[in-house]
Amino acid sequence: MTDSDSARYVSRLTKDTLALVLAGGRGSRLRQLTLWRAKPAVPFGGKFRIIDFPLSNCVNSGIRKVGILTQYKAHSLIQHVQRGWGFMRGELGEFVELLPAQQRLETSWYEGTADAIYQNIDIIRTHKPEFVLILAGDHVYKMDYGTMLAAHVEAEADITVGCIEVPLEEAKAFGVMAVDEDNRIIKFAEKPDQPTPMPGCTDVALASMGIYIFRTEILIGELLRDADETGSKHDFGGDIIPDVIDRLRVTAFPFRQDGSRGHAYWRDVGTLDAYWQTNMELIGISPELNLYDRDWPIWTYQDQVPPAKFVFDDEGRRGMSVDSMVAGGCIVSGSYVSRSLLFSNVHVHSFSRIEDSVIFPDVEIGRHCTIKKAIIDKGCKIPADTTIGVDPEADAARFNVSKGGVVLVTPEMLGQRLHYAR
């Protein structure tokens, strides 16, 4: 098969695929960051939202039929998708649809990942795809789903599970699979106490990425079967996949960089420490996640704001930023910013020092502030002379401090009301 024939082959497969993104989770391990927003709507990388990554992967892979399943505090997510993802051409059969939890088939909210898909089964039938790609909306990575689709078809698989190699100790937090020489899954366990290592690699396991490809008729059949199981938690990793491996052809697709055996970038940013660390990785000289790749852009919504500005060049009052990423609309006025990410419209007043921190949009930092190893939530007004990230005891009394020493600050912790419960 020539390169052009291969491209047309993959293009046909992606055209016949419906992607469903599970974006209804709270992400409680992110603590107060998800108090007023769903986890996929959490800002990331100085400009984006977490959900922008799986959505961009779909568009860049040629998959232009995408449904986003929402549930928990979805307003911020819905607003972002409506503003930033409305460029699809409906007349060409392209769409990014928001699918709120509507209790279409049941009177309850979604009870698991499989139940979320099951309650939208009528929408799947309406679109009549040949394949359904199921994605988690809360991971950060770049992946060509077309390659996975081609592998799925060539293996004549009923179901394909995207997986990544992880250290054995870390595998306890994932669904872990054992495979034969043809990558057929022969065993699958959700968050096992003793994960099964890969053949020939005693310290590495194959962990599920929460990415599944189904032939549509197989998906519908298994969803109906699972819905009738009274003891099921209606979860793909916990129920459906373990139940089908003896009945159907279920294969694993190892996610590797550029299709090689090299290390692939994939991050679960489910904790404050993991979220902070993943953001910090972006400001390295050559980060694993290349946001400057014009062949695989990450799409998002962005405000129409002026470029970042750095003012005053006086000794002791110099506006500057080093080893950092600073978004448009920011003003660094006579302050020092180091190893940090500033989202849009952040204003840092004079004589302040920001280090190793993630500053969300619309934050104002007063004069003579010191902020280190912190996450400052959207809209915070940091009073003058505030110190954060220096005294652990003082931080713990006012803010949320993670196990790794990351200080999370929200408006509510500062006595500022951006959201109203009543």
Coil, helix or strand for 47? coil
Predicted confidence at residue 4, as pLDDT, reads 67
- Distances in whole angstroms, Cα of residue 223 to Cα of each of 125, 184, 229: 13, 21, 10
For tokens 């050559």, the residue is 286
Distance CA 143, CA 304 (A): 29
Q: Any idea which residue has 């491209």 for tokens?
A: 7
| Distance from C-alpha of 271 to C-alpha of 406, rounded to nearest angstrom | 11
CA distance readout (Å), 287 to 166, 255, 279, 293, 296: 19, 19, 10, 12, 15
Q: Which pLDDT does position 259 carry in this prediction?
A: 47
Phi, psi of 80, rounded to the nearest 5 degrees = -65, -45
Separation of alpha carbons 146 and 322, rounded Å: 38
pLDDT at 262: 52
Q: How far apart are CA 127 and CA 294, in angstroms?
A: 31
Question: Six-digit token pair at 235?
Answer: 């979860």
pLDDT at 156: 96
> Within 13 A of 99's CA, how many CA atoms are on the CB side?
27
Q: Of 326, 13, 35, 349, which Cα lies nearest the Cα of 157?
A: 13
* Cα 105-41-107 angle, rounded to 5 deg: 15
pLDDT by 10s per residue, the chain, length 422: 566 667 777 889 999 999 999 999 888 999 999 999 999 999 999 999 999 999 999 999 999 999 999 999 999 999 999 999 989 888 888 999 999 888 766 667 888 999 999 999 999 999 999 999 999 999 999 999 999 999 999 999 999 999 999 999 889 888 999 999 899 999 999 889 889 888 778 888 999 999 999 999 999 999 999 999 989 999 999 999 999 999 999 999 999 865 444 568 999 999 999 999 999 999 999 999 999 999 999 999 989 999 999 999 999 999 999 999 999 999 999 999 999 999 999 999 999 999 999 999 999 999 999 999 999 999 999 999 999 999 999 999 999 999 999 999 999 999 998 888 77
Cα-Cα-Cα-Cα torsion 42, 45, 50, 54, nearest 10 degrees, comes to 170
- Complete domains list, the chain, with CATH: 3-281 (3.90.550.10), 309-414 (2.160.10.10)
